[in-house]
Amino acid sequence: MDPILLAVQTLNGLQLGVLLFLVAAGLTLVFGIMDFINLAHGVQYMIGAYFAATFTAVTGSFLLGAALALPAAVLVGVALERVVFRHFYGRDHLDQVLATFGVIFFLTELVRVIWGPTPLSFPVPAWASHSVTLFGGATYPAYRLFIIGGGLAVAAGLYALVARTRFGMLVRAGASNPRMLQALGTDIKRLFLLVFALGAMLAGFAGLMAGPILSVEPSMGDNLLILAFVVIVIGGLGSIQGAFLGALLVGLVDTLGRSFLTDAVKLVLPASAAVDVGPALSSMLIYVLMAAVLIVSPTGLLPAKGATR
């Protein structure tokens, strides 16, 4: 196995994992505290990318575009919470699935009406469009390193926020027993809105970071949402640390599987069959990982403490 290719693919896996973490963290926070399952989270990620692409094109600067896109994405999230989602707290999970499903249809179509069905061009910012030389002569795009760094920084900030601040204390208390928290006098509706806004911000941030390297199109949120579900199931619902561990695992297993599994299959099967079997197997790999984790521990690797759901 080529060590340089391995290093590059490991970085790619890390980069996918970081993006997955940003999306999964919002999902798992919202679920852990409000017992609310938000399928539209992937759409919020997609909208973040659209805002960033548009504002970058208007202002001519990626950083300025990002700085405008982030509050816009939060605003959309808050509007969704106020208009639709808050009516569905405390309802059946089935109702929540359906309501957010309807929101997906609406927003995806709205994006198609506003920006058109074709992918938006969103170039990598000039200051990060070069490649960096790593050890052993491998080169790696600077922008992807920027994603990894930015994502890890946000992950650290999120950890500090949840573990070290008063807001984080309320979040943790809300995750283990929201009713008790309300009885103790916390304005739980305000907390819900804040947590939802935080989740929307993380999804929007993931979208604006991913925009330049993925294609900005209406369906870009779907795949990521389902990967984020796999992440949450592996990591344990409601747990930020679990989401982090799960995201890195899924990112690495998926990326490394896609680049090396077909070659591995060629060792066992004739090349013509391997070309068919390899990609099919590698696209199944993370689901096999998920099934394996479930067999060992049905509530994921690091379930949130006190969560009984």
The residues of the shown chain that bind other proteins, judged by CB under 8 A, are 31, 37, 39, 84, 87-88, 93-95, 97-99, 101-110, 112-113, 222, 226, 229-230, 232-233, 237, 275-276, 279-280, 283-284, 287, 290-291, 294-295, 298-299, 309
Given a contact cutoff of 8 angstroms between Cβ atoms, the answer to whether 9 and 255 are in contact is yes
Q: Which CB sits closer to other proteins, 248 or 289?
A: 289
Given a contact cutoff of 8 angstroms between Cβ atoms, the answer to whether 200 and 77 are in contact is yes
φ/ψ of 132, rounded to 5, equals -105, 140
Using only the alpha carbons of the chain, give its radius of gyration: 20
- Closest C-alpha among 286, 278, 276 to residue 24: 286
Q: Kindly state the tokens that stand for 236.
A: 């344990």
What residues have CB less than 8 Å from 237, skipping those under 6 apart?
28, 31, 32, 299, 300, 303, 304, 307, 309
Least distance between other proteins and beta carbon 118 (Å)? 15
Given a contact cutoff of 8 angstroms between Cβ atoms, the answer to whether 307 and 176 are in contact is yes
Least distance between other proteins and beta carbon 175 (Å)? 14
Q: Which CB sits closer to other proteins, 230 or 252?
A: 230
Q: Which CB sits closer to other proteins, 1 or 114?
A: 114
Q: Which CB sits closer to other proteins, 210 or 250?
A: 250
Q: Kindly state the tokens that stand for 137.
A: 């002569």
Residue 33, number of CB atoms within 10 A of its CB: 26
Q: Which CB sits closer to other proteins, 71 or 116?
A: 116
Q: Which CB sits closer to other proteins, 66 or 107?
A: 107
Residue identified by tokens 């943790």 is 172
Least distance between other proteins and beta carbon 261 (Å)? 11
- Closest C-alpha among 150, 309, 75, 210 to residue 228: 210
Instruction: Return d(Cα 229, Cα 233) in angstroms, integer.
Output: 6
Q: Kindly state the tokens that stand for 5.
A: 């290719």
Instruction: Return d(Cα 192, Cα 159) in angstroms, integer.
Output: 19
Q: Which CB sits closer to other proteins, 97 or 213?
A: 97
